[in-house]
Amino acid sequence: MKRLVLLALAASALIAAPADSAHSAQAEGQTLLGTALRDPGFPAEVQERLETDLEIARARMEIAPDREDSFIWLGRRLGYLGRYEEAVAVFSEGLEQFPESYKLRRFRGRHLARSRQFEASVADYREALALMEGVPDSFEPDGIINSRAQPLGTYRSNLHYYLAQTSFATGDFEQMNAGMQAALDTPIMCYKDDLVVPVAYWRYIALMKLGRADKAAAVVDAVPADLELIENHAYYEGLKILQGALSPEDAGSGALQRFAHAIQLVFDGQDAEAETILIDIVESSPLGFWPAEIEVLRIRDRAAASGD
């Protein structure tokens, strides 16, 4: 009972607590750079499907408000529409009923990060991993089904992965590197290739931030060229940019490919060129792109510190 009370208090405090320094400058409805967050602008058929899924989730909540899954799916369906703050509120309400739910913390953590509340997100991921100790892992059901109708990630692997990714925002690059490797080391039954690529992508960035260039190069160079991917093709092109095996001009124009190009410019000491690309990534996406936003702020901090 004492643990339940403590967890309930922690859940309420997490939402009420001051945001981390990067988020404190962000107004609601804006990126960290102050640009407006916009409607995602989905094609009409996609918007209709997502809205229908949301109505189904709302109906499910009406019918079964005492089920953990009702909160999970209502929050996730809001998130697919870019309504991240509303999703966080739903997951938080669910945690009032299910304070030891690692699943609700996993999804709240993801949407907190998307809301640029990075320290709170990290806290949720850490608590979820603690709650999973001794619990058998299982695949996460996908809300948007891939071409093989096969979930790729487990709860444990995704918790490690997203804790590591969000640690990029908080500047904990040791955690970022170790967490990505922990995600890959989690036993996964199939389709592990799709995890190899983003793990190497983010580990390279973490290791470069830590000044371990040789190790960073070894990580990306170890990724084979014959992976069978289902989803992470954009990550794979970004990885090839980091390897030096693909020129940015020959890669796709998505955020992940362009971010790989920009972050490599940062590592090469070309902050001004990198900032231009990063700002364009943020401004061209209706919902921004928080890794690019964070890196722009770091570039500006360095320029201010040097007096440029």
pLDDT, one tens digit per residue, over 80-112 is 999 999 999 999 999 999 999 999 999 999 999
pLDDT the model gives residue 146: 64
pLDDT the model gives residue 301: 97
In this predicted structure, the answer to whether residue 179 has a pLDDT above a threshold of 90 is yes
Residue with tokens 């909160």: 71
Q: Tell me, yes or no, whether 80 lies in a domain.
A: yes
Which residues are registered as beta bridge partners of 298?
A: none
Q: Tell me, yes or no, whether 268 lies in a domain.
A: no
Q: Tell me, yes or no, whether 269 lies in a domain.
A: no
Q: Tell me, yes or no, whether 124 lies in a domain.
A: yes
**Looking at 42-46, 91-95, 170-174, 183-187, which range is the least confident one?**
183-187
Here the tokens at position 65 are 């408000």
Q: Tell me, yes or no, whether 223 lies in a domain.
A: no
Contact 216, 208 (CB under 8 A): yes
| Reported confidence tier of residue 151, pLDDT bands at 50, 70, 90 | confident
Which CATH number covers residue 51?
1.25.40.10
Q: Is this structure's pTM higher than 0.85? A: yes
- Report d(CA 84, CA 184) in Å as an integer: 27
- Report d(CA 72, CA 84) in Å as an integer: 13
Domain housing 58 = 1-135
**Mean pLDDT, range 270-294, rounded to an integer:** 98
pLDDT the model gives residue 148: 64
Q: Which of 134, 92, 121 is nearest to 7 (CA)?
A: 92
Burial string for 292-307 (b: 16+ CB within 10 Å, else e) reads bbbbbbbbeeeeeeee
- Report d(CA 254, CA 235) in Å as an integer: 9
Q: Tell me, yes or no, whether 283 lies in a domain.
A: no
Q: Tell me, yes or no, whether 224 lies in a domain.
A: no
**Looking at 103-112, 164-173, 180-189, 204-213, which range is the least confident one?**
180-189
Q: How many domains are there within the chain? A: 1
Q: Tell me, yes or no, whether 144 lies in a domain.
A: no
What is the tens place of the pLDDT at every residue in 38-62?
999 999 999 999 999 999 999 999 9
pLDDT the model gives residue 190: 62
**Mean pLDDT, range 139-161, rounded to an integer:** 82
